[in-house]
Chains A and B, each alone.
Chain A
Amino acid sequence: MTRTLFALLVLVALAAYSATNVTVTSDAGSVFGQSGDTSGSIDIELGRDLIIAVLADDVAQRNDVARQIVTILRQSPLLESTVFGPEPPSAEFQDWIWEKRFQLAPPEEGDFDVSEMARNLDAAKAFFSNIDSMAIGDRLLLDPTGSYRRLIGQLARPDDGLSVVDGVWQSSDDTAAIVHATFSDRPFEAKEVHALTVSLRSVSEARNASVHFLGARTIAAETTLFNYRSAARASLIAAALLIAWLIWSLRSIASVAFVFLPLVIGIGVAFLVVQLMFGYVHVIATGFGGALLGLALDYPIHIIGHSKSARPKAFRLVILGSATTSIAFLAMVGSGVPALVQTGVFVASGLTVAALASVILSAPDTQKIHGIPLGNLVWRLPFKPIIEIVLAIGGLTFVLNTNQEVPITIFAPPSSVSNDITLVAEMLALPSGRYVVAVEGDDLNDLLSNEQELAPILDDAIKDGSLTSYTMLAQVLLSTRPYLPAPDAYLALAEGALRRAGMSVGFATNQLEAYTRSRLSPAIRYEDLLGFPETRAVATRLRVTEDGWREHVSLTLPDGGSVPDFDVNAPFAEIVDLAAPVRQALDDIRHQVTIWLLVGLCAGVGVLALGLGDWRAAGRIFRTSCAMIGVTASFLVATFGTLSIFHIVAMALVVGIGVDYGMFFKDMKDGTGDNPASTSVALCASSTLIAFTVLSFSDVQVLYQIGVTVVVGLFVLLVLTLAQMKETT
């Protein structure tokens, strides 16, 4: 009793510490590393973008709602900027392009022909009947080369293809008003982003409109909360069913409490250890670790299933079982993936502490366990060793030959979010988020020159119907090398042009000053493009390194086309799959996890053999585990098309369970219900099946995958283990 009280006190202390000090994060860097190659993070510039589509039949009505939403968003500290229509260029941007005009729209030798310059001056003079002359008329007169006029013409091209009604963007199918917003550069909080979307939905619904969101942060917020709620619901249902089942089986509240206490202490210590070692606990560690610690529930059940006299042996088996599984999972430390290293530490520390607590705590007297003794289900399987080896090798062969590429989403969004993504993407005819054409150049001018060569290839793809449109820098900026005569020569040319156009020749000195300033202006830097909202979208497509400039030309593919159906045969350009690095990273993680779990499994079997003092028995358990893995992996690949890291780690959990069952069955001679192992393993198996069957019905992909894997694996394991038992007898 004293030990139990002490355990409760430890538990309270752990809970109090965890509540105030443990930080659970879902940082993608802990999965993919911090290389920055895996775009899509919610903290980068692109990840803070948000598109809101306001749907209503009446244009005026949806525009009103869009304006109201913008008013709300502009007051929210969560948002940095919000716009509902084309914004006029800022004065700073206008001044910048004026200064950089010879780089952005370089003049050619023919532009310095006096008659050509005079024609440009005439056109500039005529432009003064246009309201826009108030903003740019003076500059048109100051630049008779036509460079600035061409630049303005290029920039005036609509870049997003969206029509504007009453100053508000409209979707291409004319069903929605479009608002574009950017989240502030502050830490992502799922709850506050969710609260914002909820408030906007209620505002719209009150005015008979609906809103749909497309943005990394809203997707992350909705997915996180959906997963959290679904996981909490599944956990509650599983816990309730488990408690009810244990109460029915044990018929003792004290025994049920004893069963749960080591598990809860184990989880508390696992959080504490990971927090102290890493400074935070990754959500993947808690997800995997929480499920794996379900194994710890079995330890006290095994103990109370044994009589007082048989308990020392049960203690030894429990410690041995936990050591075997802990070593297997501790091997994940070798994977080098922070989230998985944490998972290994979480499971190893949690299981060890739970096993120790099961042994140390005062167990109730021997407990009669109600239920079906597994000994009654023994069956005979001739040539079992051969069959198990065939199942293991056959399964491995099937998996290696049919396993498809790993999906790139770890936490899939709920269907409502997926529908929003599809809806808004269709409305806006968004470019492919996966495929781009990467173009390279030694400098900006070389890049633009290469893009001009690429443009006809892409235009041909549009004619063929394999491409709808594309967006590249060369559509906005011209790319020839500038021809810039000496200032003296220019002055003479400018005077000649003014004279020919019948204008004041003295104005040539003003033109010369403007010419010289632009001619001597420093080369455009990548940082310049980041400095203006007008060029930030371009900057996100650009990468500038010591090797040169590189742009990802975005591609809008035809309806129903998700993969480019054309080739780009140019030495400076290639079609790039942006998802490839993420897919490769996940594939690498999957391989690492598999290898290290196998290493851990081998080490665990070694420990098992040493602990049991029986290499043949350890070999039998290992063989059965391999057969289980072969069958379960084949089933999963046939069902899901691929093995995810969740499948793999969940199979490792089943192996851990199998080792425990195998040990407790080892000494069973007759397989009848009188043997305590028979009833305690039956209760362990049934409680595990209850918990993971609930998970297998979850909407959350991760829980669903873990649930299905454990249920199938456990079923296969029980079938094979019971067959093994007969063989032993």
Chain B
Amino acid sequence: MILTTGSTSSISGTLEHICTLPPPANAETAIRARPYSENGAVPYQEIIRHPALGNAMTNSGAFHATGTGTLIRRQTSPVFEELEISAESILIRRKGKETERRISVRLALFLSTLAAIVTGKPEDIDGSYSQNLEIRPDGWTVLLTTPKNPKEVIALTGCGPVLSTLQVRSPNGQQRQFRFVAP
């Protein structure tokens, strides 16, 4: 297991560490990078930035891949919320209640990409996405864009074969970054 500390910079590109591992040959190889995991769980910190919010907000928890092809996102802070993401629907457990519903197209594109990346099945990423790889001193970045949702950009960053963050940027200035870090 390769330990990382979430060494990649924030989306602004500020260098924190130099990545000494060899960069991936292309975008296809880059998106096969795996996040830190322990006992099958992928811990994360979700950092939300919004023009209205003075300070970034942080949610945290862990992802769990199931054998049935669904991905469970178990958020533990600031409030408990469990999300079971499958191909067509999401099951939300919150405040003792369980709600299942179909996913909107906008959310489905992001969640399916998230599930594909976290579970190590990049082939499940929607075929409409185009992938652009950027190599930088602190690691690499793959930008995923799709005409199905042209307003949003998904950015994956990593160092060598390790995926550090998955970020979604919206045109209104909202950014959500999942940092895959050791707790």
- Shortest Cβ distance from B92 into chain A, in angstroms? 7
Contact partner, A88, options B50, B102, B110, B172, Cβ 8 Å: B102
- Interface presence of B142 (CB below 8 A): no
Q: Which of B92-120 contact A (CB under 8 A)?
A: 92, 94, 100-108, 110
Q: A91-B105, A91-B106, A138-B170 are in contact. Are A129 and B78 (CB under 8 A)?
A: yes
- Contact assessment for B100 and A164 in the assembled complex, using a CB-CB cutoff below 8 Å: yes
Contact partner, B102, options A167, A498, A507, A510, Cβ 8 Å: A167
- Contact assessment for A90 and B105 in the assembled complex, using a CB-CB cutoff below 8 Å: yes
- Interface presence of B48 (CB below 8 A): yes
- Interface presence of A135 (CB below 8 A): yes
- Contact assessment for A504 and B104 in the assembled complex, using a CB-CB cutoff below 8 Å: no
24 A-B pairs with CB atoms under 8 Å apart are A85-B102, A88-B102, A88-B104, A88-B107, A89-B104, A91-B104, A94-B104, A128-B57, A129-B57, A129-B59, A129-B79, A131-B83, A131-B92, A133-B48, A134-B110, A138-B170, A141-B50, A167-B88, A167-B100, A167-B102, A498-B52, A504-B52, A504-B54, A510-B51
Inter-chain contacts of A121 with B (CB < 8 A): 52
- Interface presence of A87 (CB below 8 A): yes
- Contact assessment for B104 and A138 in the assembled complex, using a CB-CB cutoff below 8 Å: no
A128 CA to B78 CA in the complex, in Å? 10
- Interface presence of B89 (CB below 8 A): yes
- Interface presence of A130 (CB below 8 A): yes
Please name the 8 residue pairs, one residue from A and one from B, whose CB atoms are nearest each other, closest first: A88-B104, A507-B52, A167-B89, A141-B52, A88-B102, A503-B52, A129-B79, A138-B172
Contact partner, B174, options A87, A137, A165, Cβ 8 Å: A137
- Interface presence of B163 (CB below 8 A): no
Contact with A along B125-167 (1 / 0, CB 8 A): 0000000000000000000000000000000000000000000
Inter-chain contacts of B81 with A (CB < 8 A): 129-131
- Interface presence of B90 (CB below 8 A): yes
Inter-chain contacts of B102 with A (CB < 8 A): 85-88, 167
- Contact assessment for A131 and B51 in the assembled complex, using a CB-CB cutoff below 8 Å: no
Closest to A510 in B: B51
- Interface presence of A166 (CB below 8 A): yes
Interface size on A, residues (CB 8 A): 31
Q: A130-B94, A167-B89 are in contact. Are A135 and B54 (CB under 8 A)?
A: no
- Contact assessment for B54 and A503 in the assembled complex, using a CB-CB cutoff below 8 Å: yes
Inter-chain contacts of B172 with A (CB < 8 A): 138, 510
A91 CA to B150 CA in the complex, in Å? 13
- Shortest Cβ distance from A137 into chain B, in angstroms? 7
Q: Which of A137-168 contact B (CB under 8 A)?
A: 137-138, 141, 164-167
- Contact assessment for B52 and A88 in the assembled complex, using a CB-CB cutoff below 8 Å: no
- Contact assessment for A131 and B52 in the assembled complex, using a CB-CB cutoff below 8 Å: no
- Contact assessment for B107 and A135 in the assembled complex, using a CB-CB cutoff below 8 Å: yes
Closest to B151 in A: A91
Q: A131-B92, A135-B106, A167-B89 are in contact. Are A125 and B101 (CB under 8 A)?
A: no
- Interface presence of A279 (CB below 8 A): no
- Shortest Cβ distance from A515 into chain B, in angstroms? 14
Inter-chain contacts of A85 with B (CB < 8 A): 89, 102
A134 CA to B89 CA in the complex, in Å? 15
Q: Which of A80-139 contact B (CB under 8 A)?
A: 85-91, 94, 121, 125, 128-131, 133-135, 137-138
Contact partner, A125, options B53, B88, B106, Cβ 8 Å: B53
Closest to B104 in A: A88
- Contact assessment for A88 and B103 in the assembled complex, using a CB-CB cutoff below 8 Å: yes
Residues of A within 8 A of B (CB): 85-91, 94, 121, 125, 128-131, 133-135, 137-138, 141, 164-167, 498, 502-504, 506-507, 510
- Interface presence of B176 (CB below 8 A): yes
- Interface presence of B8 (CB below 8 A): no
- Shortest Cβ distance from A572 into chain B, in angstroms? 36
Closest to B105 in A: A91
Closest to A94 in B: B104
- Contact assessment for A134 and B176 in the assembled complex, using a CB-CB cutoff below 8 Å: yes
Contact with A along B70-82 (1 / 0, CB 8 A): 0001010011010
A90 CA to B105 CA in the complex, in Å? 7
Inter-chain contacts of B103 with A (CB < 8 A): 88
- Contact assessment for A134 and B107 in the assembled complex, using a CB-CB cutoff below 8 Å: yes
- Shortest Cβ distance from A511 into chain B, in angstroms? 8
Q: By CB atoms of chain A within 10 A, which of B54, B59, B107, B172 has the most?
A: B54
- Contact assessment for B51 and A506 in the assembled complex, using a CB-CB cutoff below 8 Å: yes
A85 CA to B89 CA in the complex, in Å? 10
- Contact assessment for B51 and A504 in the assembled complex, using a CB-CB cutoff below 8 Å: yes
- Contact assessment for B54 and A502 in the assembled complex, using a CB-CB cutoff below 8 Å: yes
Q: By CB atoms of chain B within 10 A, which of A88, A138, A141, A506 has the most?
A: A88
Inter-chain contacts of A134 with B (CB < 8 A): 107, 110, 176
- Contact assessment for A138 and B174 in the assembled complex, using a CB-CB cutoff below 8 Å: yes
**Given A129-B59, A131-B73, A510-B51, 19 other A-B contacts at CB below 8 A?**
A88-B104, A91-B104, A125-B52, A125-B53, A128-B48, A128-B53, A131-B81, A131-B92, A134-B107, A135-B104, A135-B107, A138-B170, A138-B172, A165-B100, A167-B88, A167-B102, A498-B52, A507-B52, A510-B52
Inter-chain contacts of A90 with B (CB < 8 A): 104-105
- Shortest Cβ distance from A89 into chain B, in angstroms? 6
Inter-chain contacts of A86 with B (CB < 8 A): 101-102
Closest to A164 in B: B100
A138 CA to B50 CA in the complex, in Å? 8
A131 CA to B172 CA in the complex, in Å? 18
Contact with A along B52-68 (1 / 0, CB 8 A): 11100101000000000
- Shortest Cβ distance from A711 into chain B, in angstroms? 59
Q: By CB atoms of chain B within 10 A, which of A94, A164, A167, A503 has the most?
A: A167
A374 CA to B97 CA in the complex, in Å? 84
- Shortest Cβ distance from A436 into chain B, in angstroms? 30
A481 CA to B77 CA in the complex, in Å? 41
Closest to B103 in A: A88
- Shortest Cβ distance from A144 into chain B, in angstroms? 10
A94 CA to B107 CA in the complex, in Å? 13
A504 CA to B50 CA in the complex, in Å? 10
A386 CA to B68 CA in the complex, in Å? 89
A135 CA to B106 CA in the complex, in Å? 8
A478 CA to B73 CA in the complex, in Å? 35
Q: By CB atoms of chain A within 10 A, which of B50, B83, B103 has the most?
A: B50
Inter-chain contacts of A137 with B (CB < 8 A): 50, 174
A687 CA to B53 CA in the complex, in Å? 92
- Shortest Cβ distance from B143 into chain A, in angstroms? 19
A167 CA to B106 CA in the complex, in Å? 18
- Contact assessment for A125 and B107 in the assembled complex, using a CB-CB cutoff below 8 Å: no
Inter-chain contacts of B101 with A (CB < 8 A): 86, 88, 164, 167
Closest to A87 in B: B102
A288 CA to B62 CA in the complex, in Å? 75
Inter-chain contacts of B48 with A (CB < 8 A): 128, 133
A86 CA to B90 CA in the complex, in Å? 12
Inter-chain contacts of B51 with A (CB < 8 A): 504, 506-507, 510
Inter-chain contacts of A141 with B (CB < 8 A): 50, 52-53
A94 CA to B149 CA in the complex, in Å? 14
A121 CA to B108 CA in the complex, in Å? 27
- Contact assessment for A131 and B90 in the assembled complex, using a CB-CB cutoff below 8 Å: yes
A91 CA to B50 CA in the complex, in Å? 21
A503 CA to B174 CA in the complex, in Å? 14
- Contact assessment for B100 and A166 in the assembled complex, using a CB-CB cutoff below 8 Å: yes
Inter-chain contacts of A502 with B (CB < 8 A): 54
Closest to A139 in B: B172
A88 CA to B101 CA in the complex, in Å? 7
Q: A138-B50, A141-B50, A164-B100 are in contact. Are A88 and B105 (CB under 8 A)?
A: yes
- Shortest Cβ distance from A394 into chain B, in angstroms? 68
A94 CA to B52 CA in the complex, in Å? 21
Inter-chain contacts of A131 with B (CB < 8 A): 73, 81, 83, 90, 92
